[in-house]
Amino acid sequence: MKKIIKITLSLICTLSLLLGCFTGCSDDGQADGGDGLSIVTTLFPAYDFARNIAGDNAEVSLLLSPGVEAHSYEPTPKDMVTIEECDFFIYNGGESETWVDSVIDSSDGNFTALKMLDCAGALLEEDHDESEGHNHEGDEAGYDEHIWTSPKICIDICTAIKDELCRLDSENSDAYEQAYNEYIQKLGELDSAIAETVNNAERKEIIFADRFPFKYFAEEYGLAYYAAFPGCSTQTEPSAAKIAELIERVNEDDIPVVFYVEMSNQKVADTISESTNAEKLLFHSCHNLTKDEMDAGEDYISLMYKNLDNLSIALN
Ligand SMILES: [Zn+2]
């Protein structure tokens, strides 16, 4: 039925064009009866999940340009229009995306919004740190927003995306269900591979000489963790006491690897690596990808397998 209406509409459209009437046929028709749904996302994981599940039935766009640091992103007026005109807006929520609330509140758009944080029980940023010398960085402990670092939670996010796609475009629900099942199987395999690596490892401890947006990851797989900064703290200089604590931890437990995150200046990792026998290795948080990674076709799952390779070195 919907198809017939669409064909009729496009016929009318063509006729109007032929008759020289351009007013009824705007070319931004994605949101109302174009070729498919238009989906707009704020972070790379949402973009990746949406494009995997929607396939050719939607146009999925990511507000972050490649290589942009997610926490310094602010929507441009053009981004606001992109959101207004979409059918389905997927955002993470949390303290990095407080701007979204005002966009949604002031919007005249007719889009559905999905907040990824609603798909998981949020963890307090600092409610679990076994380090005896751990410094609470003021009273600003917020909820950790990096829920996508746990592949298990990603399955829940994908379920919410798939359900909404089926509701918005029931005609293609079989395709969405099938793509969803294939994708969550891959997420399940990733989850099993990580769990197996951790279970067979010599250690269950990771050291991040950097930000630590991996709370959900560490908790999921039962890893103890020590980090220079909680979450995606904007701090760049840890205290001397914190550096000393991490160095002591590395030496005491004979830790082979200290991690840094993408788009980091790696200064703390260099310091700790130079003072210990630990090598520094990259662990992707997947907020966003660099242009090279995009061009190379990397995605959430491929980067998480790279993380797993480095994790395996760090735990053994
Ligand atoms: Zn972050």
Mean pLDDT by 10 residues, the chain (316 residues): 42 39 37 74 98 97 96 93 96 91 88 93 58 37 86 97 98 98 98 98 97 96 95 87 96 97 95 96 97 97 98 98
Domain co-membership, 57 together with 72 = yes
pLDDT number for residue 107: 85
**What is the whole-number distance in angstroms between the Cα of residue 94 and the centre of ligand 1?**
10
Residue 206: φ, ψ to 5°: -125, 145
DSSP helix/strand/coil, 220: helix
The CATH number that applies at residue 177 is: 3.40.50.1980
Domain co-membership, 129 together with 176 = yes
| Overall number of domains in the chain | 3
- For residue 103, being part of any structural domain is answered with yes
**What is the whole-number distance in angstroms between the Cα of residue 213 and the centre of ligand 1?**
6
- For residue 195, being part of any structural domain is answered with no
Tell me how far apart the alpha carbons of residues 263 and 28 are, in angstroms, rounded to a whole number: 35
pLDDT number for residue 196: 98
Tell me how far apart the alpha carbons of residues 285 and 303 are, in angstroms, rounded to a whole number: 9
- For residue 120, being part of any structural domain is answered with yes
**What is the whole-number distance in angstroms between the Cα of residue 145 and the centre of ligand 1?**
7
Domain co-membership, 92 together with 176 = yes
Which of 184, 215, 244 delimits the end of a domain? 184
Tell me how far apart the alpha carbons of residues 258 and 305 are, in angstroms, rounded to a whole number: 18
Residue 70 is encoded by which pair of tokens? 């997610």
**What is the whole-number distance in angstroms between the Cα of residue 283 and the centre of ligand 1?**
13
pLDDT number for residue 79: 95
**What is the whole-number distance in angstroms between the Cα of residue 142 and the centre of ligand 1?**
12
**What is the whole-number distance in angstroms between the Cα of residue 6 and the centre of ligand 1?**
41
**What is the whole-number distance in angstroms between the Cα of residue 234 and the centre of ligand 1?**
10
Which residue matches tokens 């908790």?
A: 219
Residue 18: exposure state from Cβ atoms within 10 A (0-12, 13-18, ≥19):
exposed
**What is the whole-number distance in angstroms between the Cα of residue 286 and the centre of ligand 1?**
9
Tell me how far apart the alpha carbons of residues 48 and 286 are, in angstroms, rounded to a whole number: 10
Domain co-membership, 36 together with 172 = yes
pLDDT number for residue 109: 81
Domain co-membership, 75 together with 211 = no
- For residue 193, being part of any structural domain is answered with no
pLDDT number for residue 141: 52
CA 223 to chain CA centroid, nearest Å: 21
Domain co-membership, 150 together with 235 = no
Query: Ramachandran region of residue 138, left (φ > 0), alpha (ψ -120 to 50) or beta?
Result: left
Residue numbers of the domain that contains 166: 31-133+143-184
Domain co-membership, 71 together with 81 = yes
Enumerate the β-bridge partners of residue 225.
206
